[in-house]
Chain A
Amino acid sequence: MVTSITSFGRSGLYDWMIQRVTAVVLLAFTVFMMGYMLFNPNLDYQQWSELFECTSMRIFTLLALLSMASHAWIGMWSISTDYIKPTGIRFLFQAFCGLLTFIYVVWGIQILWGV
């Protein structure tokens, strides 16, 4: 048993599960957005903002945003523990990734509810 305190959850199984579930959410969101843009070739601002004013779309987008945040954290954490061996530098890299993810989430929410 390897003790880990910076991973997303404490258990490998939990991280693995979150990674898979969020991947499905992101896939669904990507397919939806691509389909939406494909079926609305002459998309204008009006239509675009109407789409995101809809509560269900906001829920879906926020879900995708949070999924991306946790998916990215687990992925970047894995990469950092693979390739960055000095603890100090790895911690700084992870802190940077964490901060960036947090900024993206807050910024994303601001955009989403600012429509």
Chain B
Amino acid sequence: MLVSVYRYNPEIDDAPYMQDIHIDIPGGKDIMVLDLLQLLKDKDPTLGYRRSCREGVCGSDGMNMNGLNGLACITPLSDVVENDKLVLRPLPGLPVIRDLVVDMTQFYTQYEKIKPFLLNDTPPPAIERLQSPEERAEIDGLYECILCACCSTACPSFWWNPDKFIGPSGLLQAYRFLADSRDTATEQRLAELDDPFSVFRCHSIMNCVAVCPKGLNPTKAIGKIRNMLLAQAT
């Protein structure tokens, strides 16, 4: 099969380019894209990409495969390869450090803005803050986010305003803490979000939902933040 990989090494290359590599998959098996990358790296050790757990938990190997963002380690070739060709690019919109490795600073800055930790001004109980099973269920579909950035980098609103729009991933996390019964900073959190950019740049095109490798729904969470903002307004 033919693999076209985005290559850029700022120390050597003046500009990024696409490198076409023909490769035979051993045994013709349906391997994961990450395994394919390892085969490519065996051929050319200068190829750079991030990886760690190789089972869709760490969120390191988010990349753009034939136009769709996803995690290379849990994406079988049969899901993405078309006409025996695969185009591998770094996550769109973020500055490229080298080859498939992007600089995630803007993404983490937005994540930091939503204060991704429990805020509670009541005295801590002797053991721990308890939740009923119903209260705990409220954060299902939210806490599973692994911050791989596949969603935010698939979002045009994040491409145009990565410094102002929180992005689907950050907003999913924002709602995770708004929905948490143990968090008491709801008002403060909502006040931080009520400007024309942070939440309202979302136009619900749902690219985030389409690409999330964990099957989460940031658009729904953003809708819930919007409803909370509406409910507390007069």
Contacts and interface: CB of A to CB of B under 8 A. Distances in A.
Our verdict on whether A and B bind, yes or no, reads yes
B198 interface: yes
- Chain B interface category by residue count: 20 to 34
Nearest to A82: B160
Contact of A1 (B161, B192, B201, B230): B192
Contact of B195 (A2, A78, A83): A2
A46 interface: no
Interface string B161-183: 10010000000000000000000
B contact patch SS: loop
B196 A82 contact: no
A113 B194 CA distance: 39
Given A13-B229, A13-B230, A16-B226, A1 B198 contact: yes
A3 interface: yes
Contacts of A4: 195-197
A2 B113 CA distance: 11
A17 B198 CA distance: 16
Given A13-B200, A13-B230, A15-B200, A3 B160 contact: no
Q: Which one of A2, A10, A11 has the greatest number of beta carbons of chain B within 10 Å?
A: A2
10 contacts: A1-B192, A1-B195, A2-B196, A4-B195, A4-B196, A7-B196, A12-B198, A13-B229, A13-B230, A15-B196
Contacts of A17: 230
Interface in A1-34: 1-4, 7, 10-13, 15-17
Contact of B157 (A3, A7, A13, A82): A82
A83 B195 CA distance: 19
Interface string B192-234: 1111111111000000000000000000000000100110010
Contact of B194 (A12, A81, A82, A83): A12
Interface of B: 156-157, 160-161, 164, 191-201, 226, 229-230, 233
A78 B161 CA distance: 11
A1 B196 CA distance: 9
B43 to A, nearest CB: 40
Given A78-B201, A81-B160, 9 more contacts: A1-B193, A1-B195, A2-B197, A4-B196, A12-B197, A13-B230, A78-B196, A81-B161, A82-B157
A11 B157 contact: no
